[in-house]
Amino acid sequence: MTEISMSLIVSIVRKGWGSRALQASVDAGARGGTVLAARGAGINEHEKIFGVAIEPEKEVLLTLVPADRASVILDAIVQAAELDATGRGIAFVLPVDRVAGIAHFMRAFGA
């Protein structure tokens, strides 16, 4: 079986924007992804209700992609989730050394 170089795109977006980012990644060539609920706080998030600080809710999108397609897919996520604006979230790409459980994915890419 041929090895294929893989990358993991991790996108942390505002609550309710995970599906939009996921659809953009699929439209750009990803085979799918996983959206997780999360909480976070950053330097640009200081929301308070009645003087009590609240932790903004987030969604984390995990997208496993062929490394040679990561830039195009990341760009689509950035645009869809408006990550080029302050306080909208963050996305980054990590190299993946080994993967199991995605035989259908590997067949689709000829590996």
Report the CATH number at residue 16: 3.30.70.120
Taking the whole predicted model, whether its pTM rises above 0.75 is answered as yes
Q: Rounded to whole angstroms, how far apart are CA atoms 30 and 20?
A: 13
**Which tokens in the block code for residue 64?**
């496993």
Range of the domain at 70: 6-108
- 23-36 pLDDT per residue, tens: 999 999 999 999 99
Q: Which amino acid is it at 98?
A: R
61 strand-pairing partners? 11, 35
Q: Is 60 exceeded by the pLDDT of residue 44?
A: no
In a domain? residue 1? no
Residue 98: predicted pLDDT: 86
Count of domains forming the chain: 1
